[in-house]
């Protein structure tokens, strides 16, 4: 379990922690106040997004079950200075077998942008993927116009791998994406 290795997931600005059901209010508030900011960059949800704290609690329980099944790992991004929830990062679509891959996705509260939180969170998530989960490959994609996300991916050390036209349906449109990848052999952090 990732939670046993707290030292692996603490940085200087932020730390990552798997959600607990008590995070429901903070996560719901974060998503509600950023709905317009995140909307243009997110796939439409398959199921209705949580609207109440009870819904959000159930959604967190689902994330816990997905982690227990080794299907995906979801972390809150918390600021080191005062432990507030500032964003989320997930290692999803884990595929074991001969691929050993996760796809990483994230968001950070608009009010907390440009403080380096996403970059550090991504570095920490990459470390978890390779050192803790024993994966061989981490992948990510970003729309070319999502300047901040492309910058985060490059700064965190992900390697550009190409350009995929009409790669992902975002907000109802098939959007081109820049693709990024990293394999365990390239991972140079401690």
Ligand X SMILES: CC(C)(COP(=O)(O)OP(=O)(O)OC[C@H]1O[C@@H](n2cnc3c(N)ncnc32)[C@H](O)[C@@H]1OP(=O)(O)O)[C@@H](O)C(=O)NCCC(=O)NCCS
* 138 part of the interface to ligand X, by CB under 6 A: no
H-state helical runs in the chain: 24-33, 35-38, 53-68, 117-127, 147-155
**56 contributes a contact to ligand X by CB under 6 A:** no
- Binding-site member from 119, 158, 175, 182 for ligand X (CB under 6 A): 119
The token pair that represents 190 in the structure block: 């401690």
Residue placing its CB nearer to ligand X in the complex, 64 or 170: 170
Q: Which stretch binds ligand X (CB under 6 A): 44-52, 65-73, 130-138, 139-147?
A: 139-147
- Buried/exposed 102-133: b ≥16 CB within 10 Å, e otherwise: bbbbbbbbeebeeeebbbbbbbbbbbbbbebb
91 vs 152 by CB, closer to ligand X: 152
Interacting residue with ligand X among 11, 18, 49, 116 (CB under 6 A) = 116
Q: Is 146 in the site for ligand X (CB under 6 A)?
A: yes
Q: In whole angstroms, what is the distance from residue 63 CA to residue 135 CA?
A: 19
Site of interaction with ligand X (CB under 6 A): 37-38, 41, 106-108, 113-119, 142, 146-149, 151-152
């Amino acid at each position: 379990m990732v939670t046993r290795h707290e030292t692996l997931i603490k940085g200087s600005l932020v730390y990552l922690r798997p959600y607990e059901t008590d995070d429901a209010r903070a996560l719901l508030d974060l998503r509600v106040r950023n709905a317009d900011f995140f909307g243009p960059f997110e796939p439409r949800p398959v199921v209705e997004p949580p609207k109440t704290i009870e819904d959000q609690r159930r959604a967190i329980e689902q994330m816990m079950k997905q982690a227990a099944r080794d299907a995906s790992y979801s972390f809150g991004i918390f600021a080191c200075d005062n432990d507030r929830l500032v964003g989320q990062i997930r290692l999803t679509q884990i595929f074991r077998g001969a691929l050993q891959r996760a796809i990483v996705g994230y968001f950070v509260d608009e009010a907390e942008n440009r403080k380096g939180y996403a970059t550090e969170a991504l570095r920490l998530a990459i470390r978890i993927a390779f050192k803790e989960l024993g994966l061989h490959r981490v992948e990510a994609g970003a729309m070319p116009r999502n300047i901040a996300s492309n910058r985060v991916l490059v700064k965190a050390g992900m390697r550009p791998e190409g350009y995929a036209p009409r790669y992902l349906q975002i907000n109802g449109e098939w959007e081109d994406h820049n693709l990024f990848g990293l394999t365990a052999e390239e991972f140079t952090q401690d």
